[in-house]
Amino acid sequence: MNPLLNLHTYGQSFWYDNIRRTFLQDGTVQQLIDNDGLRGMTSNPSIFEKAIGNSDDYDAQLRQLAAEGADVMTAYEAMAIADIQAACDLFAPLYTLSDRTDGFVSLEVSPYLAHDTEGTAVEAKRLFTAVSRPNLMIKIPATVEGIPAITDVIAAGINVNVTLMFNMPHYNAVAEAYIEGMTRWIDADGDPAQVASVASFFVSRVDTAVDNALADNHLDLLGKAAIANSRVVYQQFKNIFHGERFAALQAAGARRQRLLWASTSVKNRAYSDTRYIDELIGEETVNTIPPATIDAFRDHGHAASTLETAVADSYTILSDLAEAGIDLTAVTEQLQADGVASFSKAFDTLLAVIKEQLEIVK
């Protein structure tokens, strides 16, 4: 049986870490839904940069926008919103069938606002209104400034995909932001079943950074940090959302904020190309998977309940890393900063490409 279909058997939804207009129109995404059990989609500035900059999918709309005298940012939003709306419509039946648990499509606020609390909240609300689809999730980074924006946006009844989380402090802050936002939403007589959130915890980049920092006498720890880090955070998810901290909100109808595994393509060819799916399968989780990794897992992946295997070993690995001189908190804080910078750079490139193409089609 297709191992992608089996993921849902073990409580995990898989989402498509990609977007491109042709794929929305030619049946590619619909086939993933029908044949592989795809249950959602995510986007980010890097994905849009590749889609718009490396295809002719958007030429017709670019010509129209150029004729209307649209500026670069207006053109970007028009193209992105059109794709996100089309994707939301494709997933709308699943959104309904899953009782608003899956079928979400994510759109990121501008990475330029990663350190602007008010700007992030304002843009999140504006984008949610502009897309006008109930199964839209707004992506907000888990920066220090992003955390209060997450609370504000959840409190406004808007679905949030929190991105760029790399460590336990990030996760704890995000979970608290969700709980506070949901409390405010319910206190304002909002429908708790209307709001969903996922906490996107990045995986492969942790191994890359830690492996590069390990000394030669600790080679036994290569490739172990990311999965151990993720498994320990999952235990904290259970502590928070299956414990007293969330009990009253759950009784009122609030949904748990699921963990989402992000950055699950393998960067080191020495590792199995499906390891960040194989090793992180468990209840109430999502894995957002890029196209090549989807193909690999369909071909030779193995679906099984793995997220809670060797939990004690995961704590030991994190302890061993500390003894080996790895300050995981410092490493992962840098990864978050690098992630913000990377998305900003991709956004710079995207806007430059759109500017050039607008001038060409005039």
Q: Is the pLDDT of residue 360 over 90?
A: no
Q: What is the mean pLDDT of the chain?
A: 96
Q: Is the pLDDT of residue 207 over 90?
A: yes
Q: Is the pLDDT of residue 362 over 80?
A: no
pLDDT of residue 317: 98
| Host domain of residue 52 | 3-361
pLDDT of residue 26: 96
Of 213, 215, 155, residue with least CA distance to 181:
155
Mean pLDDT value across residues 292-307: 97
Q: Is 312 exposed, middle or buried (0-12, 13-18, 19+ CB in 10 A)?
A: exposed
Please tell me the total count of domains within the chain.
1
Give 57-104 pLDDT, tens digit per residue: 999 999 999 999 999 999 999 999 999 999 999 999 999 999 999 999
Q: What is the CATH number of the domain that holds 265?
A: 3.20.20.70
pLDDT of residue 54: 83
- Show Cβ contacts of residue 236 under 8 Å, excluding neighbours closer than 6 positions: 168, 171, 172, 175
Mean pLDDT value across residues 203-219: 93
Q: Is 189 exposed, middle or buried (0-12, 13-18, 19+ CB in 10 A)?
A: exposed
Give 11-49 pLDDT, tens digit per residue: 999 999 999 999 999 999 999 999 999 999 999 888 988
Q: Is the pLDDT of residue 124 over 80?
A: yes
How far is 80 from 68, CA to CA, in rounded Å? 17
pLDDT of residue 208: 96
Q: Is the pTM of this model over 0.75?
A: yes
pLDDT of residue 39: 98
Percent of the chain at pLDDT above 90?
A: 92
Mean pLDDT value across residues 225-254: 97
Angle formed at CA 64 by CA 62 and CA 65, multiple of 5 degrees: 65
Mean pLDDT value across residues 226-254: 97
How far is 35 from 27, CA to CA, in rounded Å? 11
Please give the positions annotated as active site: 139
pLDDT of residue 299: 97
pLDDT of residue 45: 86
Residue 361 pLDDT class (50, 70, 90 cuts): confident
Report the Cα 205 to chain-centroid distance in Å. 14
